[in-house]
Amino acid sequence: MKAEFWLERWQRKEIGFHQDEINAHLQEYWGGLQLPAGGEVFVPLCGKSRDMLWLRAQGHRVLGVELSPLAVEDFFLENELKPQVRSHGAFDSWSCDGVTLLCGDFFELTADDLKHVTGIYDRASLVALPPEMRAQYAGHLQRILPEHAPMLLVTMDYAQAEMSGPPFAVGATEVRELYAAHYGIEPLYTHDVLAENPRFRERGVTRLDEVVYRLRP
């Protein structure tokens, strides 16, 4: 899956993964990470997620990374924010009111870019990637993150043979394989949400579990 795939999805507005509402799991379980007041939260592959506004409203500084310039521009336009745009290494940095989005390739991020991060929120990143890229993604993420930053991770799990992703199925075994070397992994919630997502049922999916994990270094 190349960068062009996601750039074209945004250009064609094929963004069924985008949620207009603030994620309920974020609101329910975020406090359990017990981050320091005002700490910086990293949101990888952030799109134009409104969850970032919720995190900012909790007093956090927010740092997102997103490949698509259209997604970054839409985030600020739709939320009536006027960003300052400047060059930041391999990225264009868009910043306003405590929210900074780095527009560019996630794999170009360095430890210096994330040196102030105190927590991570991943709702749509891991499940957006095919298996071979998930290992690359998780490895790079763990190499560049500060070692004491916990993560709230939301995944989807279903029979991958029933539907081609994205979103891809990511089971508990794979979560452990990807993260157990650096994190203690605590499942917080599992629920079959197929009834609430008819487009997946129409594609032949018979079970669609949404799973929330807390990862602590």
- Pairing assessment for the beta strands 151-157 and 91-96 based on DSSP bridges: unpaired
Mean pLDDT, rounded, of the chain = 93
Q: Is the torsion defined by CA of 25, 28, 29, 34 positive or negative?
A: positive
CATH number at residue 107: 3.40.50.150
> How far, in whole angstroms, is CA 55 from its chain's centroid?
13
What pLDDT shows up at residue 116? 97
Whether residue 18 is contained in a domain is answered as no
Whether residue 62 is contained in a domain is answered as yes
Whether residue 145 is contained in a domain is answered as yes
Whether residue 107 is contained in a domain is answered as yes
Whether residue 185 is contained in a domain is answered as yes
Whether residue 50 is contained in a domain is answered as yes
What pLDDT shows up at residue 20? 73
What pLDDT shows up at residue 7? 64
Closest alpha carbon to 100 in 163, 41, 24, 12: 41
Tokens describing residue 204: 């032949």
| Mean pLDDT confidence for 109-124 | 97
Return the SS3 of 167: coil
Q: Residue 60 is part of which domain span?
A: 3-13+23-29+37-216
The radius of gyration computed from the CA coordinates of the chain, to the nearest angstrom, equals 16
User: Given its phi and psi angles, is residue 149 left (phi above 0), alpha (psi -120 to 50 degrees) or beta?
Assistant: beta
Task: Using CB atoms within 10 Å of the CB of residue 103, give its burial: 0 to 12 exposed, 13 to 18 middle, 19+ buried.
Answer: buried
Closest alpha carbon to 96 in 144, 64, 58, 124: 64
Cβ atoms of 16 and 39 closer than 8 Å: no
Return the SS3 of 158: coil
- Give the model confidence (pLDDT) of 153-194 as tens digits: 999 999 999 998 889 999 999 999 999 999 999 999 999 999
Q: Which residue, chain included where needed, has tokens 């069924």?
A: 16
Q: Could you tell me the pTM of the whole model? A: 0.93
Which strand (E) or helix (H) includes residue 8?
helix 3-11
Written as one letter, the residue type at 210 is: E
How many domains does the structure of the chain reveal? Answer: 1
Whether residue 102 is contained in a domain is answered as yes
